[in-house]
């Protein structure tokens, strides 16, 4: 068997943020299995004639089951195809990468992992701010805003998430942030803690909202657009 899978981090969506290795693998692939947020102009780098298969999962939408995605990877690789599994941002950050790796290892299929620009890094760059600051933000932490059921996880480390010297990035947290903020505030996070809502980072509808955690929670209590977003809060330099 000569099949091979390349897990490629597509970055936040801007094709200019792809790595050279990512572009190389796209040009050589026989099949590309892509997430919703890694489609669009990025797929223009795929080889002509390659199978392009959308397997993205989005909250609130009908999506392929994870075992179906893993099965597709196996089926392509087992007929000696070069496969690119294109994941938005970096596949190792809330990208269900491990489940697909386990399936490949069990089947004895070789693979590689090509990192991508994490959306959190791209969001900070778009806002023109650092994620760390000397003396006041010595630590960065990433957390998901929902569990497998779409609800706020019940096992959050609230002391860590209220650390005044940490920058916190919440992935997939727009719908659950009001509840999260209530917990954080009850555990000592000041209402005026700086916050940044970064929507459609690097995309055509990018929007950056500089605010506070309390104001953001109030904003997100109402109707919420389906635009993908990140929430950053902590000792941010929101100029």
Q: What is the pLDDT of residues 5-38, one digit of tens each?
A: 999 999 999 999 999 999 999 999 999 999 987 7
Q: For 119-131, how does the pLDDT look when each residue is reduced to its tens digit (9 = 90+)?
A: 999 999 999 999 9
The b-or-e profile of 186-197 (16+ CB within 10 A means b, else e) is eeebeeebbbbb
35 has catalytic annotation: yes
219 has catalytic annotation: no
pLDDT at 179: 96
- Residue 7 φ then ψ, to 5°: -85, 115
Q: What is the mean pLDDT of residues 106-127?
A: 96
> Distance between CA atoms of 85 and 35, rounded to whole angstroms?
8
- Domain locations along the chain: 4-114, 119-233
pLDDT at 114: 98
pLDDT at 148: 82
* Candidate list 21, 36, 51, 57, residue with the active-site label: 57
Q: For 184-233, how does the pLDDT look when each residue is reduced to its tens digit (9 = 90+)?
A: 999 999 999 999 999 999 988 999 999 999 999 999 998 778 889 999 99
Q: For 132-181, how does the pLDDT look when each residue is reduced to its tens digit (9 = 90+)?
A: 988 888 999 999 998 888 899 999 999 999 999 999 999 999 999 999 99
* Candidate list 14, 35, 90, 163, residue with the active-site label: 35
CATH number of 4-114: 3.40.1010.10
pLDDT at 73: 96
| Right CATH for 119-233 from 3.20.80.10, 3.30.950.10, 3.30.450.80, 3.90.1150.10 | 3.30.950.10
Q: What is the pTM of this model?
A: 0.90
CA neighbours within 13 Å on the CB side: how many for 98? 2
Q: For 73-100, how does the pLDDT look when each residue is reduced to its tens digit (9 = 90+)?
A: 999 999 999 999 999 999 999 989 999 9
Cross-strand bridge partners of residue 231: 170, 197
pLDDT at 113: 98
């Amino acid at each position: 068997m000569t099949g091979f899978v390349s897990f490629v981090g597509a970055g936040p969506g801007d094709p200019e943020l792809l790595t050279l290795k990512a572009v190389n693998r796209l040009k050589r692939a026989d099949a590309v299995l892509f997430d919703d947020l890694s489609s669009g102009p990025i797929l223009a780098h795929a080889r002509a004639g390659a199978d392009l298969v959308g397997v993205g999962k989005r909250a609130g939408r009908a999506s392929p089951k994870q075992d179906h995605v893993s099965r597709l990877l196996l089926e392509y690789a087992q007929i000696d195809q070069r496969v690119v599994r294109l994941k938005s941002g970096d596949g190792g950050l809330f990208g269900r990468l491990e489940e697909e790796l386990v399936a490949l290892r069990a089947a004895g299929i070789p693979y590689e992992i090509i990192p991508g620009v994490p959306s959190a890094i791209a969001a900070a760059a778009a806002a023109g701010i650092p994620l760390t600051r000397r003396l006041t933000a010595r630590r960065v932490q990433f957390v998901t805003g929902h569990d497998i059921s779409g609800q706020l996880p019940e096992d959050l480390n609230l002391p860590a998430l209220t650390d005044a010297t940490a920058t916190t990035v919440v992935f997939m947290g727009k719908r659950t942030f009001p509840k999260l903020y209530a917990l954080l505030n009850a555990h000592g996070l000041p209402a005026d803690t700086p916050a940044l809502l970064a929507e459609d980072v690097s995309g055509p509808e990018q929007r950056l909202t500089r605010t506070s955690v309390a104001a953001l929670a109030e904003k997100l209590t109402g109707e919420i657009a389906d635009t993908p977003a990140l929430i950053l809060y902590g000792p941010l330099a929101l100029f």
